[in-house]
Amino acid sequence: MEKDGLKKVEAILIGGSAGSLDVILRMLPDLRRDLSLSIIIILHRSTTVDNTLVDLLSSRTSLMVKEAEEKEKILPGIIYIAPPDYHLLVENDRSFSLDFSEKILYSRPAIDVTFQTAADVYKSFLVAILLSGANADGSEGLVAVQNAGGITIVQDPADAEINYMPHQALLKLTPAHIMKKADLAGFINRLPF
């Protein structure tokens, strides 16, 4: 299914902390309905809000939204959300596993963990997007995605509600794109899948 000679993308990772939920809520309705790749979202959040996040995101898209479950096969056309208080890992056979190890940069789920393990598996067939946040999580993960040949995107710090997270990432790498929130859906819709 290659388009324009471009290699297809299998998965999109989206990581963010404070100020990133709004970006995602705004982006979801504009995604094409036939998007045939997996989207994996890692948001820092308090452990108490649970299924409400799935419901909230579902209300904005016709794509299926669900919490990632351990050993679950990762399928195209589904938006997965990392469960609270576990790290979410991607296995070689393209399934999820969960891990209750130490928090990383005060975060569990840590964006770095999912980005790094996904980079290992999806290699260059991967897009990773890092959004607004007040924490340095995610930068190491973006570097891993870049080293594996994947496409990295950082929200434009000037466009982010809290620019610390994008800023930290830009200190560590030069991403393929620095993007405003308004442009995310259009970019994703044009990806070859």
Partner 1 sequence: MIDYKVVQDEEVTVLLDDLLELYGYDFTNYSKASIKRRVNRLFSLDRFPSFAEFRYRIKNDPGYLRRFIEQITVPVTEMFRDPAFYRTLREEVLPILGTYPLIRIWHAGCATGEEVYSMAIMLKEANLLHKSLLYATDINPEVLERARKGIFPLSQMKHYSENYISSGGKNDFSSYYSANYDMAKFDTVLTGKMIFATHNLVSDRSFNEFQLILCRNVLIYFDKDLQARVFQLFDESLDNLGFLALGSKETLRFSAIASKFKQVSAKEKIWRKMA
Q: Which residues bind partner 1 (CB under 8 A)?
A: 69-71, 83, 86, 89-92, 97-102, 113, 116-117, 120, 140, 144, 147
For residues 8 and 30, give the distance between their C-alpha atoms in angstroms, rounded to a whole number: 20
User: Does residue 17 have an active-site annotation?
Assistant: yes
- Give the nearest distance from C-beta 41 to partner 1 in angstroms: 17
Whole-number Å distance between alpha carbons of 25 and 112:
22
How many of the other CB atoms lie within 10 Å of CB of 10?
Answer: 21
Query: Please, which residue, 38 or 116, has the CB nearer to partner 1?
Result: 116
Query: For residues 94 and 96, what is the distance between their CA atoms, to the nearest angstrom?
Result: 7
Closest CA to 79 of 40, 28, 111, 114: 40
| Residue from 20, 38, 112, 137 carrying the catalytic annotation | 137
Question: Closer CB to partner 1, residue 99 or residue 161?
Answer: 99
Q: Within a 10 A sphere around the Cβ of 24, how many other Cβ atoms?
A: 24
Find the catalytic residue in 38, 44, 107, 112.
44
CB atoms within 10 A of CB 150: 25
d(Cα 165, Cα 45) in Å, to the nearest integer?
Answer: 15
Is 137 known to be catalytic? yes
Task: Return the amino acid letter for 156.
Answer: D
Taking the least distance from each CB to partner 1, the nearer of 27 and 82 is 82
Our CB check for partner 1 shows the closer of 21 and 140 to be 140
Q: How far is the CB of 68 from partner 1 (least distance, A)?
A: 9
- As measured in angstroms, the least distance from the Cβ of 83 to partner 1 is 6
Shortest separation between residue 107's beta carbon and partner 1, angstroms = 14
What are the catalytic residues? Answer: 17, 44, 137
